[in-house]
Structures are given as C-alpha cells and as structure tokens.
Amino acid sequence: MKCSLGYTFVKASPLPARRLMAYAWPMPSPAVPPPTRDIPAQLKAAEQHCARNGTQLTTLRREVLDLILRADSPLTAYQLLDQLKAIRKSAVPPTVYRTLDFLIENRLIHRIERLNAFTPCTEGEHDHRDAQFLICKKCGSVTEIEDDAITRALAAAAAARGFRPGHAIVELDGICAACAESAPA
C-alpha cells in the first residue's frame, strides 16, 4: 500500500488498528529486492500536501526534503548543512533549522530525538504528537510504526497518575530484522 507521499507500507498485523510503516530503505530482508524510490513523485506529493495546507514548498525546502528522502538513514542538521552547501554555497545553520521546523510543522519529516536527526514521515496525515520509532543500533535504520494500542496504553498510564500528556514519542532501540538475520548464530 502506498501513502500520499509515495512510501510503501507493510502490514505488521492483521489487526486494523495496528500498522507498521517501513521506509523503502533499508529493506527488512536482503532476499527482497529493494523497490525503487520515486523521489520526484514524493516531492510532488509533498508540494501538493503543502498546497492543501496553505503553505509552500519553496526551492530551499524542496532541496532539504530531497536530501532527507535520499538518505539511507536519519541525517543531523549539520549533515544536512554540509550536503546543502554543495548546492547552495551560502547555506547557514539558521536557514537549515528554519527549513527543518517548516518540514516538521507540515508533517513531512520527524525529528528522532535520540539521534538528534531527521527522517522522512511515512504518512503525513497521521497525528505527529504520538509516534513510535524502531531504531537499529547496527545499521542505523529507523522504522516508523503507528500502533494505537501503544498510544492508548501510555495515555491510560499517564491518566492513572493524574498526568495530562501533550505528546508521546517512543523511540525504541534494538536490532532490525535484516541485521538480526545476518548476525552469526
């Protein structure tokens, strides 16, 4: 199944409330050939998404999003700055940070707090206040999951203690399926 931004999704469970959204990179198994990433289509979808929200994907914003979409793993702001300087010699940190803020606000990317890095959002139409990420310690891949049961469990635990959460971002580190398969027994 493809989302509005052109990512391919993989069902993790037959339960409708639980979805696993895997990026097109890295693939979960080396035996499965990687699909081609249609970056131009993803950028066009992002442009349309912004237009629907009354915002504009400027040339700079498009260039930064393009770098994030092409990356094999999340990029830090300074990695983005270094890559952007190859395109725009005058790029400076505040420009990159403002652009990243825009891309986050328009639900096109996520900030992975643990890594202090940015990764594409697999589905711009979901609630960005509640997201879960699986981060592989070996290869650096990040998989975004959207599991309503996790969100409900966290909300219930908070409510039981009289706490009102604003948002719940869960970042779970471990070993991805591809790395686990390739590890010696």
Q: How far apart are CA 25 and CA 146, in angstroms?
A: 18
**Cα four-point dihedral sign 42, 44, 45, 47:** positive
Domains and CATH numbers, the chain: 18-182 (1.10.10.10)
Task: Phi first, then psi: give them for residue 133, nearest 5 degrees.
Answer: -130, 140
- Taking residues 88-109, what's their average pLDDT? 95
Could you report the per-residue pLDDT of 117-169, keeping only the tens digit for each? 999 987 656 566 678 899 999 998 888 888 889 888 999 999 999 999 888 88
- Residue 27: per-residue pLDDT: 32
Rounded average pLDDT over 90-108: 95
What confidence score (pLDDT) does residue 127 get?
A: 60
The reported pTM is 0.72
Q: Does position 170 have pLDDT exceeding 70, yes or no?
A: yes
Q: Percentage of residues in the chain with pLDDT exceeding 90? A: 56
Average pLDDT, the chain: 80
With a pLDDT cut of 70, the percent of the chain lying above it is: 76
Q: Does the pLDDT of residue 26 top 50, yes or no?
A: no
**What's the CA gap between 154 and 130, in Å, rounded?**
10
User: 13-17, 82-86, 101-105 — which is least confidently predicted?
Assistant: 13-17
* pLDDT for res 1: 39
pLDDT score recorded for residue 28: 35
* pLDDT (mean) for 79-92: 95
Query: What does the alpha-carbon distance between residue 104 and residue 118 come to, in Å, rounded to a whole number?
Result: 9
Two tokens, residue 89: 């010699």
